[in-house]
Amino acid sequence: MLDVKYYKDYRHNYLILKDNGCLSENVYQRKMVTENKIRGLLESQERHINGEILLYCEITSRQSLLSICDGKSIGMEQLRTFFLQLKMVNDLLQKFLLDGNCLVLQPEYIFQDIETGEYSFLYYPDPEEGSFAGLVEFLLAKVDNEDMEAVETVYKIADLAGREQFAMDEVLRWFQDDWGRGGWRRPQETGFGKAPSPGNGFHDTACQEADSTDEGRIREENRRGNRGYGYGEFSDQSCSLEKPSEEKVSGAGEGAGNEGERDGVTRKRILRLSPLWAAGAAGICVLLWLRSAYSLSYQEETFLMAGLFVIAAVMAGSVLWLVYSCFLKKTYERRTQEDRGEESRFAPTYESMPAPAAAEAGNTVYIPWMENCENKLYSMDGKNKCHIDLGRLPLTVGKLAGAVDMVIDEKSVSRMHAKFSRTENNVYITDLNSTNGTFRNGMRLLPNASERIEPGDEIRLGKLKFIYR
């Protein structure tokens, strides 16, 4: 059993592994993992603290497979992408003379970059921690039952894993061979987010001798928009995420139309004022010519200067009116729209629960707080009249549509920021490796740590503050 804890410093999240004796015994494997950036493995650092060897594995901007698949199912496209990347990593380990059985294949220790769909695996020099059987059980529980190809594949994997002479290479070669024969359809565009570019690969690595065939297949997968777990193939029925995006697009188009209308009005006003400005400029030129061409008396020169002042004042007044009516008014309208837009920064939430029936006369019945509370997070910001409904859990919040159940359009919120879940009658909040942190009553949660929340608690996601009722 791995002794694991999570830690966050200023800009990085780490998974920390304590030595159970294998790190100190297997010096070669430990040094190869920590001194080289092997493609597909979590970047690791070796630290010695109080005479103990600790392995710091960076998990910044990554989510565990367990968190991503919570409440979602896995289709054939995700299975194929996962095992092809696992095959590539396994081949790279052989080039470094490392044992592929030391990959920790428990779902909570397999991480994915949710933006690119790339997986990063944890390597620990103890074959007993590999637990491929645990991964198979996870896949059996999460496979999409409506995808018969995925169901058949998972049960074939389970059958292979149950044999006495089982080796993980058999499964990986089977996926590679079937893909090489074109046995699976190619992935389609999911429609969620921006598809990774062809250049997106695993993290930069010192190993440039990877199998070109496998690498080409993985890059082809990324180029065609297959983003792995957490995207188009998930069958999450709890919340629709496409509507907020469409509203944003329509809102942007409407804003652009308003901008065009305002520019047209400005041009018309300038055209109307142009004759006035031309006449004023001509008048000033004539008066200046008269002053220079003729010798004027004191009274005549006074009248001429007064005329120049009147013409200049009229022209300056027209310019000020144009600036106020067009530009200052435009700024005011924009600020007004921003203030009104604060109320729609969150995706739509669930409707409130039906009102309870009227109480009958008689003895007072005690109602537990969980049955009486609203189960909502209300914003404490005066500009935000929004809430997060916790009536249906689990619920994942963040700003990446397609990967979360509820979208929060806020720069300080991570792509997958936090998850709310229920155990019996208790509601828990879990930080999902967020950059700016998740706070409960001012105390920051450690990465992947869960805390029970109660009515009256203050919850902060990035710089957004909520009160739980």
What pLDDT, on the 0 to 100 scale, is given for residue 334?
A: 64
| Alpha carbon distance 434, 410 (integer Å) | 13
Residue 165 per-residue DSSP state: T
Residue 225 has pLDDT above 90, yes or no: no
Q: How many CB atoms lie within 10 A of CB 23?
A: 22
pLDDT in tens, 88-139: 999 999 999 998 889 999 999 999 998 888 999 999 998 777 678 889 999 9
Three-class SS state of 289 = helix
Give the pLDDT band (50/70/90) at residue 82: very high
pLDDT at 204: 40
Enumerate residues 6+ apart whose C-beta is below 8 A from 170.
160
- Model pLDDT for residues 141-174, shown as the tens digit of each residue: 999 999 999 999 999 888 888 877 767 777 777 7
> pLDDT tens-digit profile of 175-214?
776 665 554 443 333 333 333 343 444 434 434 444 444 4
- Is residue 410 very low, low, confident or very high in pLDDT (cuts 50, 70, 90)? confident
In this structure, which amino acid lies at residue 335? R
Sheet holding 418-423, edge to edge: 406-407, 395-398, 418-423, 426-431, 450-453
Tell me the whole-structure pTM to 2 decimals: 0.57
Please check the confidence at residue 361 and state whether its pLDDT lies above 90: no
Q: Is the pLDDT of residue 335 over 70?
A: no
pLDDT in tens, 281-313: 888 888 888 888 888 788 888 888 888 888 888
